[in-house]
């Protein structure tokens, strides 16, 4: 199932999201030293350090398109052009915003939900990682002082 197919399935079958979301909620109650990637993880693990990685849609499309060309991404969807990828990104964003609004009345794109908002448009993966780790270290040291 492609990401697009999964989003459509979840929009029409709330149980798929509910299972994954309940897993996150339980994980956040029993563990405190892990990294999780998810659009709504901030909502289910509220005590976590919440990071939102932003990227310009055109840059995201270029990265995805290049990854497909290099065989770095498995997908059943046809990635014919940058404009196709950009259209898929925008469709996914729209569908996910509607899906989470419908299920939980939340907006994952509201940047007030996050402890760190980082624009990765001009950053490499190591630069992004270093920025996140530095911010986490700062927050952790402030908590020790309090």
* CATH code of the domain in which 80 resides: 3.40.50.300
Measured from the Cβ of residue 110, the count of other Cβ atoms closer than 10 Å reads: 10
Q: Angle between the 82-104 and 14-30 helix axes, to the nearest 10 degrees?
A: 70
Question: Residue 63 pLDDT more than 80?
Answer: yes
Tell me what pLDDT residue 139 has.
Answer: 84
How many structural domains are present in the chain?
A: 1
DSSP 97: H
Average pLDDT over residues 103-127: 96
- Considering Cα of 59, then 60, then 61, then 63, what sign does the dihedral take? positive
HEC readout, 35-78: CCCCCCHHHHCCCCCCEEEECCHHHHHHHHHHHHHCCCCCCCCC
Structural domain containing residue 114: 3-145
DSSP 117: E
Average pLDDT over residues 77-91: 83
Distance CA 61, CA 90 (A): 10
Question: Residue 60 pLDDT more than 70?
Answer: yes
For the record, the structure tokens of 61 come out as: 């499309």
pTM of the model: 0.81
Tell me which residue has tokens 């794109």: 109
Contact present, 41 and 24 (Cβ < 8 Å): yes
Average pLDDT over residues 74-99: 82
Average pLDDT over residues 26-36: 92
Show Cβ contacts of residue 60 under 8 Å, excluding neighbours closer than 6 positions.
89
For the record, the structure tokens of 15 come out as: 């149980």
């Amino acid at each position: 199932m492609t990401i697009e197919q999964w989003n459509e399935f979840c929009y029409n079958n709330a149980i798929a999201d509910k299972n994954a979301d309940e897993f996150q909620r339980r994980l956040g109650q029993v563990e405190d030293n892990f990294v999780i990637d998810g659009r709504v993880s901030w909502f289910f693990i509220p005590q976590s350090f919440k990071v939102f990685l932003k990227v310009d849609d055109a840059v995201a499309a270029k990265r995805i398109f290049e990854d497909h060309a290099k065989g770095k991404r498995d997908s059943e969807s046809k990635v014919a052009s940058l404009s196709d990828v950009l259209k898929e990104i925008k469709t996914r964003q729209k569908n996910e915003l509607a899906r989470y609004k419908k299920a939980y009345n939340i907006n994952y794109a509201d940047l007030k939900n996050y402890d760190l908002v980082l624009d990765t448009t001009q950053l490499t993966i190591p630069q992004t990682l270093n920025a996140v780790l530095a911010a986490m270290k700062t927050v952790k040291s402030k908590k020790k002082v309090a």
